[in-house]
Structure 1
Amino acid sequence: MRLKAARLHTPAGGGSFVMSHLSIGLFLVDQDRHRIAVGSDRQRHIPLKAGEGWILPADVTGICEYDEALSFLKLELPESLLGDVGFYRQRDFAPVVGAFDPLLAQFVHQAAATTESAPSLYRDTMQLALAAHLAEVLWPQKPGLAGIEDRRLRRALDYIHDNLAADLSLDDLASEAAMSRFHFVRAFTKAIGRSPLQYVISQRMELAKLLLKTTRLPMASIAANVGYEDVSRFGQHFRRHTGTTPAAYRAD
């Protein structure tokens, strides 16, 4: 599947939406009475100006309403394009609604202008540049990770992020890194600044926070999605990590 881009003009109103792919919307006109709900029916009034918009994960649902006619650019990025730049988080990032990174906005305009043209090195290169910059905007590398040049540790990190719901073991991670358990723990802790266990828990809690805010999944399902069969144990870790309970975090 190729990147899809369109310039859309719609009358005042809006309604529910389903985004099957990671999607970007860039407003071409101001919308002072713009309201949006993502993953629920709880709408928020978020005025948007021309040049602002939204970035929504794949498979997300919601409601968008506005009181004036709307013109905007809409892009849908296929998993294959995101995979080409090593970005596999099209479903687990926090939705963006508001100001846009200026360079990303330029890439969106460029993609909308060239997506219907015949395949060319220029078009394909610009689409890859868009995907790569989008990945950096949505999931910037933490300073501690940016300097990791050891491919063995990167394989272990990729394995962690691809299997957060699994019953991860030190043997699994050390095997992915092709190291002994002792050397893996020492190398990982030195590079990341925390132990493998601490890192896994922190990433599970970040994903849990996202699911709590953007879905209606019951607590047991969220716990299972981040690797906890025991909901009470999940709640304990969540409170230790965030200072509040999962239910209170969702309601906030």
Structure 2
Amino acid sequence: MKTVSSTKPVTITHSSEEGLINSSQDLGWEYIVFNEYQLAPTQISYPAFPQHNLYLCLANRPYRIHHLMGKQRYVGIYSRGDIGITPAGIASIYRTEGNDHFLQIQIEQQFLHQVAQETDEIDASSVELIPKFRERNPQIEQIIMMLYSELHQGSGWGSKLYIESLSNALAVNLLRGYSVKKTNFNLHSVGLSDSKLLLVTDYINDNIGTEIKISDLAALVGISQFHFSRLFKKSVGMSPHKYVIKQRLERAKSLLKNPELSVTDIALLCGFNSHSHLGKYFRQLTGFTPKQYRN
């Protein structure tokens, strides 16, 4: 990476619709907005967003990029997998010398502060992200690509629970690697108590046909979402999302014994949003379609 003195180029004001090919804006995702862009070589001016902005390059061919972030200017070759971070409140301008394909993840400041407070009990107001021009982070890249997959094909209650988990994991990794005030992330060495675990699992089983959110499960036992997910996994050996999916499938297997219920009815009763949504997970668990299992 080459850093040079700041100059002010002629700019084109960015429209949020320009080059936008996919967005989570209308999917009901909480705390984050996930956008996918494809743009021809251009120069764009971004305002100082109130959210933190994270970028992941998906371009098939490397290209040179000129990026003015606040008062600092960077020049370098961007390629697939490169990550950029523009903290909230910093305006930026960038110019590309090749076709650009990238993901933009906007993260609410309050959400990041909340995760910081929950994970390490620090003064959340002191947490700030460090600007990054071209970074490699396999963990963050993997989380972003999981969200990207949900943007294209995920929907329904199970998906929302999954997105909550991924959003928390993304926030933790950003705080761990790119916050001004480093966090220790001290974790409990034991899982949930027996009484709390039974309270949570009973709630899941009683509400298997409805939307189940991590925030609701965590509130049920009076702990933060971050700590709940960690402690639940220590207790049962899988994430809350995977556990809920497993319980939905077990309920579906039981209901498939009733020939009066259609597979679509069973899918809805078990919290899946369609016949195909149930079929996808059912095949993964049993190797059969619901209809084959019933027969």
TM-score (norm. length: structure 2): 0.44
Name the counterpart of 1:59: 89
The code of the aligned residue for 1:98 comes to: R
Q: Which moved more, 1:53-62 or 1:84-93?
A: 84-93
Name the counterpart of 2:54: 24
Q: Which of 24, 32, 39 pairs up with 2:70? A: 39
Name the counterpart of 2:98: 68
Name the counterpart of 1:117: 155
Say whether 1:13 aligns with 2:42: yes
Give the 3-state SS of the residue equivalent to 1:133 in structure 2. helix
**Are the structure 2 counterparts of residues 136 and 73 from structure 1 closer, same or farther at C-alpha, using a change threshold of 3 Å?**
same
Say whether 1:96 aligns with 2:132: yes
Query: Where in structure 1 are there 5+ consecutive unaligned residues?
Result: 150-252
**Are the structure 2 counterparts of residues 133 and 147 from structure 1 closer, same or farther at C-alpha, using a change threshold of 3 Å?**
closer
Deviation at 1:99, TM superposition (A): 2.4
CA RMSD, Structure 1 to Structure 2 (Å): 2.8
Q: What is the distance in 1 between the residues matched to 2:185 and 2:143?
A: 27
Q: What is the distance in 2 between the residues matched to 1:72 and 1:123?
A: 20
Question: 1:36-75: CA deviations, max 9, x gaps?
Answer: 01113x6331211110030110011021000111000110
Q: What is the distance in 2 between the residues matched to 1:9 and 1:90?
A: 35
Q: What is the distance in 1 between the residues matched to 2:68 and 2:99?
A: 19
Q: How many residues align?
A: 146
Give the 3-state SS of the residue equivalent to 2:106 in structure 1. strand
Which one has a bigger Cα radius of gyration? 2
Say whether 1:137 aligns with 2:177: yes
The code of the aligned residue for 1:109 comes to: M
Give the 3-state SS of the residue equivalent to 1:65 in structure 2. strand
- Report if the CA contact (8 A) 2:57-2:81 is conserved: yes
The code of the aligned residue for 2:79 comes to: K
- Report if the CA contact (8 A) 2:46-2:91 is conserved: yes
- Report if the CA contact (8 A) 1:31-1:70 is conserved: no
Q: What is the distance in 2 between the residues matched to 1:147 and 1:118?
A: 31
Deviation at 1:91, TM superposition (A): 7.6
Relative contact order: is structure 1 or structure 2 higher (C-alpha 8 Å, sep ≥ 6)?
A: 1
Q: What is the distance in 2 between the residues matched to 1:86 and 1:97?
A: 23
Name the counterpart of 1:50: 80
**Are the structure 2 counterparts of residues 131 and 117 from structure 1 closer, same or farther at C-alpha, using a change threshold of 3 Å?**
farther
Q: What is the distance in 1 between the residues matched to 2:185 and 2:97?
A: 47
Q: What is the distance in 2 between the residues matched to 1:15 and 1:75?
A: 17
Give the 3-state SS of the residue equivalent to 1:105 in structure 2. helix
Query: Where in structure 2 are there 5+ consecutive unaligned residues?
Result: 1-29, 118-123, 188-295
- Report if the CA contact (8 A) 1:79-1:90 is conserved: no
**Are the structure 2 counterparts of residues 92 and 133 from structure 1 closer, same or farther at C-alpha, using a change threshold of 3 Å?**
closer
Q: What is the distance in 2 between the residues matched to 1:6 and 1:33?
A: 22
Q: What is the distance in 1 between the residues matched to 2:155 and 2:109?
A: 21
Give the 3-state SS of the residue equivalent to 2:91 in structure 1. strand
Deviation at 1:10, TM superposition (A): 0.9
**Are the structure 2 counterparts of residues 94 and 75 from structure 1 closer, same or farther at C-alpha, using a change threshold of 3 Å?**
same
Give the 3-state SS of the residue equivalent to 1:50 in structure 2. coil
- Report if the CA contact (8 A) 2:65-2:94 is conserved: yes
Q: What is the distance in 1 between the residues matched to 2:34 and 2:115?
A: 19
